[in-house]
Amino acid sequence: MRLLICLSVFFLLLVASCRQPQSLVYKDVRHFKVDGLGIGRSGISMDLRLYNPNKYCIDLRHADIDVYVNDAYIGKMFMVKGDYVIPRTDTFLLPVKVDVDLKTVLPNAVNLLFNKTVGIRVSGKIKAGKHGIYVSMPVHYEGKQEISF
């Protein structure tokens, strides 16, 4: 009987510890800047400021995120380095880059040059988890951002 109670408690603790992580809270985008304007392609770098509401660290493995500037699709976002360990119950910066095909941005190029503020929309999914169990979590941010060249 005692063994059955111990196994039940162990099973309940195991199930409670394996629940799906809560989605990260996306605060804003920091340090938005254009890296080297080129004829065919350019780069944009930024830091996503995120908050992890979970009471444990999370490993971030992959990001599949689309980026829009002034409602025009400009490219896919990727993490600057490989995997990241996201601190528990803390706000952190995730450095990311976007390779931009200038053909998609050209209609808005004049606005980008003369305005210090642009509309940014980021949407997609990230794959995050712990101890080999990874789930997709949605990403969405929309707002105005200052840019620097």
Pairing of strands 72-79, 90-101: antiparallel
pLDDT for 12-39, tens place per residue?
444 445 556 677 787 877 887 877 766 6
According to DSSP, the residues that pair with 33 across neighbouring strands are 45, 148
Domain map (residue ranges) of the chain? 22-146
Instruction: Enter the tokens of residue 29.
Output: 């985008």
pLDDT, position 136? 84
Low-confidence ranges of the chain (pLDDT < 70): 1-21, 37-40, 82, 104-113, 147-149
pLDDT, position 4? 53
Helix H or strand E segment including 61:
strand 58-69
pTM of the model: 0.67
pLDDT, position 24? 76
pLDDT, position 105? 65
Q: Biggest alpha carbon distance in the chain?
A: 76
pLDDT, position 9? 52
Architecture of the 22-146 domain? Sandwich (2.60)
